[in-house]
């Protein structure tokens, strides 16, 4: 296992014969996740909004690994119509799906709504992946060793709670708190999904990961008052997107991973480093809140799970 017990991309086992769907994989952490999986033999689908950028990512991956099997699927997680269309296309193309990696997301966006009227961060980061997972799960539950990996964030601890009385932030808006809500929802979804899978379908597990502080496009909506601190501190704590992808890759491929686990960097404050098992907030582990969020998410998306 890597140098001095540090888990690296070199520790990813052979993925030949596996089908992996990675959302938001034309750049950043998603791209590096997809590239490593493809290099290790997986058949990888880049599920992305921009097909041109997706095709560019395919070319980049196949230049580095000529034998890689990589395709593109259009997917806009801020549109339930797009989610349903993508799930239908993926279901038709792949009778089995081994890995679904819910990586795509937005962060600190100004107040906006999705086409379905959801607050943009909650809709894109939680409701979209929730719906996609529910629609693809039948293709996964028949596959032994299949996994749903959802990328959360250390921000699930920052100003974060599930605002059940105003999930869409119609009465005031705080972009940092809204992002925290969406990332807290990612963890609650993972834990509740794992509990439901463990009760009936032990062939599939649900796992979460977070990248620490990685150099990606996510920070483009950083509030103005945080930008000076960002410019000053980021060079001290930021790591490459390739390093940021390691917790996701470990959650997706390490044979020792168990359902309901959460992986993040091993450095100070989980900001950077190699992936290890980490803890999430006490609030994220509240079973009653998880169940309540699940029910609301099914109602809002119109997607019910086969578990």
Q: Does residue 134 contact residue 305 with C-beta atoms inside 8 Å?
A: yes
The answer, yes or no, to whether residue 302 has pLDDT greater than 60, is: yes
pLDDT tens-digit readout, 192-232: 999 999 998 789 999 999 999 876 554 555 555 454 544 44
Phi, psi of 141, deg, nearest 5: -70, -20
Q: For position 200, what pLDDT does the model report?
A: 81
Kindly state the average pLDDT of the residues 66-76: 97
Q: For position 1, what pLDDT does the model report?
A: 65
The answer, yes or no, to whether residue 24 has pLDDT greater than 80, is: yes
CB contact set of 112 (below 8 Å; sequence gap of 6+) = 119, 120
DSSP 3-state of 71: strand
Q: For position 236, what pLDDT does the model report?
A: 53
Please pick, among 31, 94, 108, 179, the residue that the annotation labels catalytic.
179
**Mean pLDDT value across the chain:** 92
Q: Does residue 25 contact residue 34 with C-beta atoms inside 8 Å?
A: yes
As a whole-number percent, the residues of the chain with pLDDT over 90 amount to 85
Cα gap 238→242, rounded to integer Å: 12
Stronger pLDDT, 160 or 60, i.e. the higher one: 60
Kindly state the average pLDDT of the residues 268-281: 94
Q: Left (φ > 0), alpha (ψ -120 to 50) or beta: where does 146 sit?
A: beta
Q: Does residue 245 contact residue 33 with C-beta atoms inside 8 Å?
A: yes
The answer, yes or no, to whether residue 154 has pLDDT greater than 70, is: yes
Buried b (16+ CB within 10 A) or exposed e, 283-298: ebeeeebbeebbeebe
Other beta carbons within 10 angstroms of residue 110's beta carbon come to: 9
Q: Does residue 152 contact residue 248 with C-beta atoms inside 8 Å?
A: no
Kindly state the average pLDDT of the residues 256-278: 95
Q: Does residue 51 contact residue 264 with C-beta atoms inside 8 Å?
A: no
DSSP 3-state of 208: strand
Cα gap 248→85, rounded to integer Å: 26
Rg (CA), the chain: 18
The answer, yes or no, to whether residue 181 has pLDDT greater than 50, is: yes
Kindly state the average pLDDT of the residues 108-135: 98
Please give the full DSSP string across 232-256, using - where no structure is assigned: HHHHHH-B-HHHHTHHHHHHHH-TT
Please give the full DSSP string across 54-70, using - where no structure is assigned: HHHHHHHHHHH-TT-EE
Kindly state the average pLDDT of the residues 180-198: 97
Written as six digits, the tokens of 80 are 């339930």
Cα gap 68→90, rounded to integer Å: 19
Please give the full DSSP string across 122-190, using - where no structure is assigned: HIIIIIHHHHHHHHHHHHHTTSTTEEEEEE--GGGGSS----GGGTT--S---HHHHHHHHHHHHHHHH
Cα gap 221→282, rounded to integer Å: 28
Q: For position 202, what pLDDT does the model report?
A: 84
Residue with tokens 């296992």: 1
Kindly state the average pLDDT of the residues 135-154: 96
Q: For position 238, what pLDDT does the model report?
A: 82
pLDDT band (50, 70, 90) for residue 171:
very high
Q: For position 218, what pLDDT does the model report?
A: 45
Beta bridge partners of 72: 46
Annotated catalytic residue 179? yes
CB contact set of 161 (below 8 Å; sequence gap of 6+) = 180, 181, 184, 283
Written as six digits, the tokens of 222 are 């950083």
Length of the chain counted residue by residue: 307
pLDDT tens-digit readout, 41-67: 999 999 999 999 999 999 999 999 999
């Amino acid at each position: 296992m890597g140098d001095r017990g540090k888990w690296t991309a070199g520790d990813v086992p052979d993925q030949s014969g596996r089908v992996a769907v990675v959302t938001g994989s034309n750049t950043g952490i998603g791209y590096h996740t997809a590239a490593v999986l493809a290099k290790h033999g997986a058949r990888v689908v880049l599920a992305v909004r921009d097909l041109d950028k997706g095709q560019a990512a395919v070319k980049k991956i196949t230049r580095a690994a000529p034998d890689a099997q990589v395709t593109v699927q259009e997917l806009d997680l801020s549109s339930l119509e797009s989610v349903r269309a993508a799930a239908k296309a993926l279901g038709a193309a792949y009778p089995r799906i081994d890995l679904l990696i819910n990586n795509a997301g937005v962060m600190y966006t100004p107040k906006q709504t999705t086409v379905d009227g959801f607050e943009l961060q909650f809709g894109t980061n939680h409701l979209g992946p929730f719906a996609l997972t529910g629609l693809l799960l039948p293709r996964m539950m028949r596959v032994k060793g299949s996994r749903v990996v959802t990328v959360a964030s250390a921000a699930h601890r920052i100003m974060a709670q599930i605002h059940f009385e105003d999930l869409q932030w119609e009465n005031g808006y705080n972009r940092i708190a809204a992002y925290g809500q969406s990332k807290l929802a990612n963890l609650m979804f993972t834990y509740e999904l794992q509990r439901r899978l463990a009760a009936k379908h032990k062939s599939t597990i649900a796992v979460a990961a977070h990248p620490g502080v990685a150099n990606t496009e996510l920070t483009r909506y950083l509030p103005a008052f945080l930008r000076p601190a960002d410019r000053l501190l980021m060079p001290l704590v930021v790591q490459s997107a390739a390093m940021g992808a390691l917790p996701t890759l470990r959650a997706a491929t390490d044979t020792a991973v168990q359902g309901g686990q959460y992986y993040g960097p091993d450095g100070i404050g989980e900001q950077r480093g190699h992936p290890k098992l980490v803890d999430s907030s006490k609030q994220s582990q509240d079973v009653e809140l998880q169940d309540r969020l699940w029910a609301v998410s099914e109602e809002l998306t119109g997607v019910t799970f086969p578990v």
